[in-house]
Structure 1
Amino acid sequence: MKKKYTIQNAPFVVPTTDGKLIEEHFGNATDGNSQLSIAHMIAPSGWSEPFQTPEFDEYTYIMKGKKQFIIDEEILILEAGQSIKIEKNTRVQYSNPFKESCEYLAICLPAFSMDLVNREEV
């Protein structure tokens, strides 16, 4: 009988050059699922990435620390226990300008893909 569940014990660790830990538990890189991705992230103090306009909805749940979001021109800061949904085709920039690292979960619908993230050149 085929199991109706999957336990993920070995997430795909996305190679980065900016000190950020990205562990994709489900999604394109881990199990080929293009419908949804779930990733555990730790953004170090001082981390940031360029503005982007993703073609997916992104849900973020902050577990520890704080994370800064610039959405269009509004600056938002979320802390542990807070969450946000950013709708697809919204220009956003993510960063952690704070002293402590930020641990969070990110869920993307459809799944995160470099082809869909539309990062701006720095």
Structure 2
Amino acid sequence: MKKYIIQKNPFVVPTTDGKLIEEHHGVPTTNNSAISIAHMIAPPKWKEPFQTPEFEEYTYIISGKKQFIIEGETVILEAGQSIKIEKNTRVQYSNPFDEPCEYIAICTPAFDFTKVHREEE
């Protein structure tokens, strides 16, 4: 039995907002509920509704910029920067800028849409 998994075919999450989400490890790909790792590209002018997830989320910016509104505070990260947002924190993710933002998102435990608690816009 191998003690590693190489992910060559990430699960591409269907979206309607132009955002690319390639989940490499997590529930739909490796049946791992402890962690999810996804490569994402948020298009210019993209945003999600506010949410209060039941999981921690780490974000590492590869290129572009990403805006976070965390408990009312606006934080902007650029390429090479990262952030950890604690679970049960109200946050909004967006890319209000003119260039795409490419990043890696890691959630512990794994991302679960039923535990993200997105608000109605």
How far 1:55 moved relative to its partner? 0.2
* Corresponding residue number in structure 2 for 1:43: 42
Matches within 5 A, 1:67-106: 67-106=66-105
- Residues in 2 aligned to 1:28 and 1:16: alpha-carbon distance in whole angstroms: 17
Q: Secondary structure at the match of 2:29?
A: helix
2:22 aligned partner: 23
Matched residue, 2:109: 110
Per-residue Cα deviation, 1:33-69 (whole angstroms, up to 9, x for no partner) = 1110000000000000000000000000000000000
Q: In structure 2, what residue type is equivalent to 1:16?
A: T
Q: Which runs of 5+ in 2 are unaligned?
A: none
Task: Give the Cα–Cα distance (whole angstroms) in 1 for the partners of residues 72 and 53 of structure 2.
Answer: 16
State the alpha-carbon separation in 2 of the partners of residues 81 and 96 from structure 1: 16
What does residue 62 of structure 2 align with? 63
- How far residue 32 of structure 1 moved from its aligned partner, in angstroms, is 1.3
Q: CA deviation at 1:29?
A: 1.3
TM-score computed with the length of structure 2 as normaliser: 0.99
Distance in 2 separating the partners of 1:73 and 1:11: 34
Pairwise CA RMSD: 0.4
4+ residue stretches of structure 1 with deviation over 6 A?
none
Residues of 2 paired with 1:6 and 1:30: CA distance?
11
Distance 1:40 1:48 in 2: 17
CA shift digits 1:1-41 (9 cap, x unpaired): x1111100000000000000000000011111111000000
After TM superposition, the structure 1 stretch with the greater mean CA deviation from structure 2, 23-32 or 37-46, is 23-32
Aligned identity (percent) is 74
Query: TM-score with structure 1 length normalisation?
Result: 0.98
Structure 1 unaligned residues grouped into runs of 5+: none
